[in-house]
Each structure stands twice: as structure tokens, then as C-alpha cells.
């Protein structure tokens, strides 16, 4: 009888390795980009995927300020944040959000696709987002990731 593989903490350096990928977000639709990133961060693209253990890879996203939103989402899609006080809801259209924080729409979309627990927060730390084409992770020799 063949048993299903389950990753353990002891296997972290031997059985599975964490790869580094670089992805260019230029003209990529935000939702499709985020779903691909969430898949790689969780490790679902690997045969060693284990739901209760983080076996995902690192992803470096460059040109985050050139991500594409379809239709009228630039002006109609809103980012909401609340201070906790009555009447202090802040509403920002995505056009202004990308001008101020170009990495935030991608980070929020990916975060909402990951598990809502400690494991999901650990997976999100492996996502590195940069607005330009330069990133400080050349030493890890990331390979190109395509959608």
C-alpha cells in the first residue's frame, strides 16, 4: 500500500527545497496574478504539497505599479480602511492607491487568497513586491515565473 506523503519539519532542507521566482507584473490582470502567486506561495504546484505545512516558494514581483485592472475598476473599485472610531471610514479609489502604494493592491489580493491563520501569514512573508524593475534578491538567483 502506498502512503500519501506528508511534509515534516525535519524534511525542510532535504525532501523539498524552497525556490525563488521572479515575476514581471507588467500588464497582468490583478486577480489572475494574485491567484497564481497564492498557488506558488502555498506550494500547491509541488508534489510535496502538505496542507498543514508551509512548503511554498519565494516570489519576487517586479513592476507592481504596472499591474492591470480591467474595465472601470481603476475608479470604481475602492480600498476601505477603518480606524475603529465611529465615522472614520477611509475610502480610496484604486487609481490613487496605486499612485501612493503601488505594491498594496497585489499584497491585499494575495493575502485574501491565502489561508486565514498563522500559516497564511507565514506564507505572505515569502512574497516580495517592488514597484520598479529592480530588486535586491539577485543573490538568490530567482528563476522566471510565467502565468
Kindly report the CATH number assigned to the domain that includes residue 130.
3.90.1180.10
pLDDT tens-digit map of 40-49 = 999 999 988 9
In the chain, pLDDT over 70 holds for what percent of residues? 100
Number of folded domains that form the chain: 1
pLDDT at 100 exceeding the cut of 80:
yes
Q: Which one, of 18, 13, 54, 15, lies nearest residue 141 by Cα?
A: 18
Domain that holds residue 125: 19-69+106-144
Per the structure block, which three cell numbers stand in for 19?
525556490
- Alpha-helix residue ranges (DSSP H) falling in the chain: 30-42, 73-76, 94-100, 104-113, 118-124
- C-alpha span between 107 and 90 (Å, rounded): 19
In a domain, 46, yes or no: yes
In a domain, 50, yes or no: yes
pTM score: 0.91
> Higher-confidence residue: 2 or 18?
18
pLDDT tens-digit map of 25-70 = 999 999 999 999 999 999 999 988 999 989 999 999 999 999 999 9
- C-alpha span between 130 and 104 (Å, rounded): 10
Amino acid at each position: 500500500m502506498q502512503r500519501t506523503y506528508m511534509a515534516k519539519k525535519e524534511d525542510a532542507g532535504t525532501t523539498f527545497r524552497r525556490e525563488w521566482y521572479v515575476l514581471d507584473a507588467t500588464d497582468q490582470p490583478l486577480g489572475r496574478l494574485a491567484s497564481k502567486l497564492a498557488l506558488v506561495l502555498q506550494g500547491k504546484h509541488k508534489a510535496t504539497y502538505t496542507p498543514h505545512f508551509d512548503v511554498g516558494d519565494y516570489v519576487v514581483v517586479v513592476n507592481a505599479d504596472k499591474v492591470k485592472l480591467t474595465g472601470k475598476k481603476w475608479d470604481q473599485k475602492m480600498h476601505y480602511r477603518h480606524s475603529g472610531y465611529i465615522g472614520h471610514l477611509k475610502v480610496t479609489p484604486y487609481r490613487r492607491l496605486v499612485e501612493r502604494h503601488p505594491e498594496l493592491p497585489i499584497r491585499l489580493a494575495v493575502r485574501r487568497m491565502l489561508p486565514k491563520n498563522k500559516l497564511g501569514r507565514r506564507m505572505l512573508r515569502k512574497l516580495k513586491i517592488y514597484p520598479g524593475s529592480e530588486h535586491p534578491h539577485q543573490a538568490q538567483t530567482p528563476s522566471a515565473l510565467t502565468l
